[in-house]
Amino acid sequence: MSDADRVARVMALGFTERQARFLVTVMLHGGICIQRQYCASARLVHGDKTRAFFRELVAKRLATPYPCARSGARVYHMHNKALYAAIGEADNRNRRLMSVSRAIEGLIVLDAVLGAPKVKWLATSQEKLAYFTQTTRLRPEDMPQLVFQNAGGRTVRHFPDKLPIGVHPDGDTHEFVYVVNRQIPVDFRPYLYRHARLLSVLPAWVVRLLVPRHLEEAEFPFRRACEEELGARLAPSTVEELRWYFRARRALNEPGASIDRERFRRARRAFGGARYQVLYRHWLAHGDALINALDSPVLSEALARGSGRIESYVVHRRYHHLTPLVGTA
């Protein structure tokens, strides 16, 4: 379903075009919004029209308002199944109640999306998979994914991070948005590993870090992690030793395994850092394809010539006055 189709189907529920366009954007990018964001989208001064629009959403039970720390402020959660069904997303996870940190991340992402109206934003895993399958030589199994094994079988979830990917008007530059949500890049490194193969086949890309004001000190370690994973190519001998170490480490859990213990101790000391611990867990799920992508000079060369960029933006808007949301929910 195209964005125009989505907007038309929401308009059929009784909304104007600009109201419908905003609702579609909210539902696809987190499901959470505040009135200020509608004013930015519709280019309105906050007033009676905005308040009437949100009163209508609440009256029709399309959204639920949650009071915030600042008197009179409200966060609105779009959760109505019929509204999501109109855009083909009846089971979208954005309908679920969420933690306060997840809600604030959603508001930050929505601000970024609304601030770049000329960018085509890919929101759902289905449209990301369809777009990159059609525009690159990658197969679905090469795309960012998480694999879950259980008694019922094997489940593959493509583009599991639920973060938008933007296609710039030039058609070549692709923007990968990431919200910094802690002081150290524990979750960010796996995000980069999942996307390394995809980044390596794009003509131009930018990884954009959105840094909340209270986490401004985390900007440097996140940028450094990105430069390490994408810009610092390992020597071929190091890559070969890393492959051996990962295989030997996995073999330790197998009965009757025989490995070179002295070599293993040396490798464990060399690859004992946090970077390699995260990489090992990802390697267990995805195998050597990940190491091959990081071993390739493509990503480091893209950064060197500027077709690949790492950018960070400190978000100066305040969101913490919204923190009572979860307790109220």
User: Is the distance from CB of 79 to CB of 31 less than 8 angstroms?
Assistant: yes
Query: pLDDT at position 134, please?
Result: 95
Q: Quote the strand ranges of 103-237, DSSP E.
A: 120-122, 145-150, 153-158, 165-167, 173-179, 204-212
d(CA 129, CA 125): 6
Query: pLDDT at position 324, please?
Result: 55
Which two structure tokens, joined as six digits, stand for 235?
A: 């020597």
- pTM for the model stands at 0.84
* Residue ranges per structural domain of the chain: 1-96, 236-295
Non-local (6+) Cβ contacts of 305 within 8 A are none
Strand-pair category, 153-158 with 165-167 = unpaired
Q: What share of the chain is helix, strand, coil (3-state, %, to 5)?
A: 50, 15, 30
Strand-pair category, 165-167 with 120-122 = antiparallel
Q: Quote the strand ranges of 41-152, DSSP E.
A: 63-67, 74-78, 120-122, 145-150
Query: pLDDT at position 70, please?
Result: 63
Q: How many residues are listed for the chain in this entry?
A: 329
Query: pLDDT at position 156, please?
Result: 83
Looking at the domain that runs over 1-96, which CATH code has it been given? 1.10.10.10
Query: pLDDT at position 277, please?
Result: 82
Query: pLDDT at position 329, please?
Result: 39
pLDDT along the chain (329 residues), means of 10: 93 95 96 94 90 95 83 84 94 87 90 95 94 94 82 82 95 96 88 90 96 92 89 79 90 80 90 81 75 77 93 85 51
d(CA 245, CA 75): 49
Tokens 């008007």 locate to 169
Count the alpha carbons within 13 Å of 167 in the hemisphere toward its beta carbon: 12
Query: pLDDT at position 294, please?
Result: 65
